[in-house]
Every structure is written in structure tokens, then in C-alpha cells.
Structure 1
């Protein structure tokens, strides 16, 4: 067992803020694991001390709304930095709140982010030598749902 002198705790470093623009959900309906939806990603932008550029249209967020009220999220999309480098994002996470708050979110209403849990674990991959550090860094995303976008504050775990 580690002693207090050798115990390490991770820290978070802000990398970028993504504003992911989305379209209306496509509803598959009730499936075995829950209500299935697909939300098309139509574009967006990102800016911060570690990364800046645009989010490319064509990605999406596959969601399962479980019986316990938790939204299980899996989004995939591409970023393009201001330098022209491409970054693939696979972002999984959970969003949950009281039934009343979840209903407001599903109806596209603005809800203060402190009223619900929305955290993600993005994985970033790139062939760019400039951003190779993304391929070997763990990230945490603190997210917020807006009527026509999702905001994700991306932090590197150090």
C-alpha cells in the first residue's frame, strides 16, 4: 500500500472548449437496452490553449436512454485544426438528472449545467506530428447541452 509521501493524484489541464453544433434527433424508438436516438453533428468550432479549429459536419452521437433515466452517449466526429491537421474524436459519456430535468433537456430547453450530470471520456487520435501527444493522453470532458449544440470543455489528465 502506498504511503502518504508516495501517493500521487492526477490533475486536470484545460485544453480546449468544443462547441458541437447538432441537428434534430432521429428517433429509432424503444429497443432492448432502452430508447435509441441518433443526433447528427453539423459542424462547430473549438478554441483553447492546446487546440483550435473547426468541427467537421458528418459525425453523430448515438444515444441510449436507459430506464433509470441515464443517457448513454457515444459520439464520433472529426476536428480540423487551424493548421489543417485532422483529429478523430470518439467521445463516450453519461448524462443524467431528475426525470423533470431530463425531460426539459430532451425537449431542447436550456437547463443550467449544475442541474444535471454530463461527463465524458473523449479519445483523440491523429496522424499529425504536431498533435501526436493527443494519441497518448487521457481526456475528461465536462459537457453542457444547449438547444442546438453541445459544449464540451476538454481537460487532459496529468
Structure 2
């Protein structure tokens, strides 16, 4: 198994909608308002309209669950889902929550990505699993995605 660079994603985020505590943890929804992605086989725009339906657990760990749509540079539409986890020390998580710039080496933020499309040029994505290392900024999540080959 190898990792093949797929694309670097920059996903622009709206303000956090805090739904409060549930039996699974603190539910939050962060709407996706746009962005871009660029890589050797995949580039284009992140379309507005998706979101991250995340849960913040009692220990501060965040379970990530995103769903949104990509439009490639040549007009194909691709549905993407990511699932993952972000955690770190209480001090680092507090800085992230305040929107401060925090070096990604100070916390753990990893994703796995799935894709779905009917466009013949990108059918290979339907059979591709990707993993990513991510970073959180005040209004953007950036991640480098790698196809598992």
C-alpha cells in the first residue's frame, strides 16, 4: 500500500452553530461556504452548501463528519464525505476555539475521504479511499489528501 498525493483542500467555513449537549456529546454544525482544491489529478472549487456535523466529546475530542460538493476545473461534480478526529491538549484546543493560529503539529487532526460521481472522467474516484492530515484555522480547514494505492 502506498500514498499518492491527491489534492490540497482549502474549505471555507461559516460560524459554528452550537446545538448543545446530547447523549453523544456537544453537537455542532459548521456550514461550508466555499473553497478550493488543487492536486495532480484533481482540482477545482468547493461549492457552498455542505457542512460538518461534528460532535465534541467530554474529553475535547471532536468527531468530524462532513458532506459537501466539489466542482472540478473541467466541470464535473463530485460528492465528498470526510470522517475523522481532532484532539489535543486542553490549552491547544482552547486556542483553536478562540480562532488563534496553532501549528498543526500541536494537535492531531486526521480524516478519511470518500468520493461519489457519475462523471466518466472521474469514475476512478468512486473506487478510491483517501486519507488526510488537516489543520484548522479560524474560518478555514486545510488538508492534504492522499489516495491509498
Equivalent-residue separation in structure 2 for 1:135 and 1:32 (angstroms): 34
Shift of 1:140: 0.2
Equivalent-residue separation in structure 1 for 2:39 and 2:57 (angstroms): 34
Equivalent-residue separation in structure 1 for 2:68 and 2:97 (angstroms): 22
The alignment status of 1:96 with 2:108, answered yes or no, reads no
Equivalences for 1:80-91 in 2 at 5 Å?
Answer: 80-91=71-82
Question: Gaps (5+ residues) in structure 1?
Answer: 1-9
**Partner in structure 2 of residue 70 of structure 1:** 61
Equivalent-residue separation in structure 1 for 2:145 and 2:88 (angstroms): 21
Question: Gaps (5+ residues) in structure 2?
Answer: none
TM-score normalized with structure 1 length: 0.92
Q: Rg bigger for which structure?
A: 1
RMSD: 0.7
The alignment status of 1:23 with 2:23, answered yes or no, reads no
**Partner in structure 1 of residue 118 of structure 2:** 127
Give 3-state SS (helix, strand or coil) of 1:130's partner.
helix
Among residues 73, 91, 101, which one is paired with 1:110 in the alignment? 101
TM-score normalized with structure 2 length: 0.98
Higher strand share: 2
